[in-house]
């Protein structure tokens, strides 16, 4: 088992032993509390049974709250329905919510717990690679609004995070690849030798790889929890990525968050080259690796440039209507609060979408 240093709450990684630790943690701190487990229909089917062997009565008698998978569930309507369910089931301020699922469950569940009766404890048990290396870490919670991602939310830390690789066995390759999107981001913003390490990121992810990626994120979060400075580097690939994800989501076109981040990285690297942050060789090396791993070209054919430019205005980093980017260059370093003019933004996007 791996214990990551994080002064505010425990983060434990491993296999079945981590689920035993979860069992013990519930027994130590919530033996007299009502337990609720938030899942989507996929995690109910594939992951919930992996808790069945735990012998703690609280978990066996927990109430399961089920949502539909996908970003559409991160809505004010679903949020309200779940709050109503908690009230109907007698949840109180001593209750605890276990978020058993991927990024949507982590974001939505954390927001529900942080606002229900002014805040109850929640525990993240991520079941997707994306949630393990990103969504469950760092205390960001929220829901979507106005056709854009994460417009309503709060910074709130879980009581604990338990990451077990037994859940990776339940994931299709598409979901593993989605998590690799965030792992690539962490590597490129933190390691000057990242280009030589890209080929080490494969579908055969080890728990040590997950721990290393989480450690990068924790280093950026430390000292900048509410993202006023250094933590903004973690938004690399996300300014364009979130806009593209929102656009395709609104059109009913399926894309994973990690795929959207990969596309965002490609476009933002082009922007970084135009601004002199990144060399053409660095950009090409990343681009070539991505195209050998993932089929992203089909998404570009469906993107409408003007709509993406419009959606960029919803990015939470923006100041005075100026779109803000976090751009890598040179490799291993990330410049934050970069405000390119509209012509550079449009040309970096049009290279891929025309």
Residues 183 and 224 in one domain: yes
184 and 323 inside one domain: yes
184 and 161, same domain (yes or no): no
Residues 100 and 220 in one domain: no
Q: How many domains does the chain have?
A: 2
Choosing from 50, 74, 140, 185, the catalytic residue is 140
What's the predicted TM-score (pTM) here? 0.93
242 included as an active-site residue:
yes
Q: Of 12, 149, 186, 242, which residue is the catalytic one?
A: 242
10 confidence band (pLDDT: 50, 70, 90): very high
Note down the domain range covering 107: 2-170
pLDDT tens digits along 91-139: 999 999 999 999 999 999 999 999 999 999 999 999 999 999 999 999 9
Residues 290, 265, single domain; the answer is: yes
Q: Assess contact for 73 and 40: CB atoms under 8 A.
A: yes
Q: Which of 124, 151, 170 is the last residue of a domain?
A: 170
d(CA 104, CA 144): 10
* Tens digits of residue pLDDT in 38-62: 999 999 999 988 887 666 566 667 8
For the chain, helix (H) and strand (E) counts, in that order, are 15, 11
User: What is the tens place of the pLDDT at every residue in 288-339?
Assistant: 998 877 778 788 888 888 899 999 987 767 666 789 999 999 999 999 999 9
Can you list the alpha helix ranges (DSSP code H) found in the chain? 16-29, 41-46, 57-60, 76-88, 103-115, 129-130, 173-190, 194-197, 207-221, 238-250, 257-275, 280-293, 297-300, 305-311, 342-353
Angstrom CA distances, 239 to 16, 118, 257, 336, 353, stand at 37, 31, 12, 12, 16
How far is the C-alpha of 327 from the C-alpha of 333, rounded, in Å? 9
Q: What is the DSSP letter of 251?
A: T
- Whether 8 sits among the annotated catalytic residues: the reply is no
Catalytic site includes residue 140: yes
- For the domain that residue 204 is a member of, what is the CATH number? 1.20.1090.10
Q: Is 177 a catalytic residue?
A: no
Q: Residue 306: exposed, middle, or buried by beta-carbon count in 10 A (0-12, 13-18, 19+)?
A: exposed
- Report whether 104 contacts 71 (CB < 8 A): yes
- Is 236 in contact with 327 (CB distance < 8 Å)? yes
The answer on 179 and 119 residing in a single domain is no
Of 21, 157, 175, 227, the active-site residue reads 227
Q: Report whether 117 contacts 93 (CB < 8 A).
A: yes
Catalytic entry in 74, 149, 186, 217? 217
CATH number for the domain spanning 120: value is 3.40.50.1970
Last residue within a domain, chosen from 170, 204, 223: 170
Is residue 235 flagged as an active site residue?
yes
217 among known catalytic residues? yes
The SS3 assignment for 8 reads coil
Q: Is 306 a catalytic residue?
A: no
Considering the candidates 235, 268, 277, 283, report the single residue annotated as catalytic.
235
CA-derived radius of gyration, the chain = 20
32 and 115 in one domain?
yes
From 12, 257, 283, 317, active-site residue: 257
Does 195 lie in the same domain as 163? no
- Whether residues 159 and 204 share a domain: the answer is no
Are residues 253 and 160 both part of a single domain? no
Query: Could you write out the DSSP letters of every residue in 297-321?
Result: HHHHTT--HHHHHHHGGG-TT-BTT
* 244 and 117 belong to one structural domain: no
Q: Which of 129, 151, 170 is at the close of a domain?
A: 170
Q: What would the pLDDT profile of 130-188 be if each residue is shown by its tens digit? A: 999 999 999 999 999 998 889 999 999 999 999 999 999 889 988 998 999 999 999 99
Choose, from 50, 238, 283, 317, the residue flagged as catalytic: 238
331 and 267, same structural domain? yes
């Amino acid at each position: 088992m791996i214990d990551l240093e994080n002064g505010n709450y425990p983060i434990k990684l491993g296999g079945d032993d981590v689920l035993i630790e979860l069992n013990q943690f519930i027994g130590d701190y919530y033996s007299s509390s009502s337990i609720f487990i938030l899942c989507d229909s996929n995690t109910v089917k594939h992951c919930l049974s992996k808790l069945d062997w735990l012998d703690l009565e609280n978990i066996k008698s927990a109430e399961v709250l089920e949502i539909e998978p996908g970003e559409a569930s991160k809505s004010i309507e679903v949020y309200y329905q779940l709050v109503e369910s908690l009230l109907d089931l007698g949840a109180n301020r001593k209750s605890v919510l276990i978020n058993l699922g991927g990024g949507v469950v982590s974001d939505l569940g954390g927001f529900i717990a942080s606002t229900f009766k002014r805040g109850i404890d929640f525990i993240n048990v991520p079941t997707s690679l994306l949630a393990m290396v990103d969504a469950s870490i760092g205390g960001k919670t929220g829901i979507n609004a106005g056709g854009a991602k994460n417009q309503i939310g709060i910074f709130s830390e879980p009581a604990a995070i338990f990451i077990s690789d037994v859940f990776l066995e339940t994931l299709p390759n598409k979901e593993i690849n989605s998590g690799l999107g965030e792992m690539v981001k962490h590597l490129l913003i933190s390691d000057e030798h990242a280009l030589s390490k890209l080929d080490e990121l494969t579908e055969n992810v080890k728990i040590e790889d997950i721990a290393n990626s989480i450690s990068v994120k924790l280093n950026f979060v430390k000292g900048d929890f509410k993202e006023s400075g250094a933590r903004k580097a973690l938004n690399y690939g996300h300014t364009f990525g979130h806009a593209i994800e929102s656009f395709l989501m609104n059109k009913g076109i399926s894309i994973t968050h990690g795929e959207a981040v990969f596309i965002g990285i490609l476009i933002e690297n082009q922007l970084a080259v135009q601004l002199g942050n990144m060399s053409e060789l660095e950009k090409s090396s990343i681009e070539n690796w991505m195209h050998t791993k993932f089929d992203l070209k089909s998404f570009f054919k469906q993107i409408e440039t003007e709509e993406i430019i419009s959606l960029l205005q919803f990015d939470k980093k923006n100041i005075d209507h100026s779109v803000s980017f976090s751009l890598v260059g040179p490799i291993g370093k990330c410049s934050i609060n970069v405000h390119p003019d509209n012509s550079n933004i449009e040309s970096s996007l049009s290279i891929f979408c025309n």
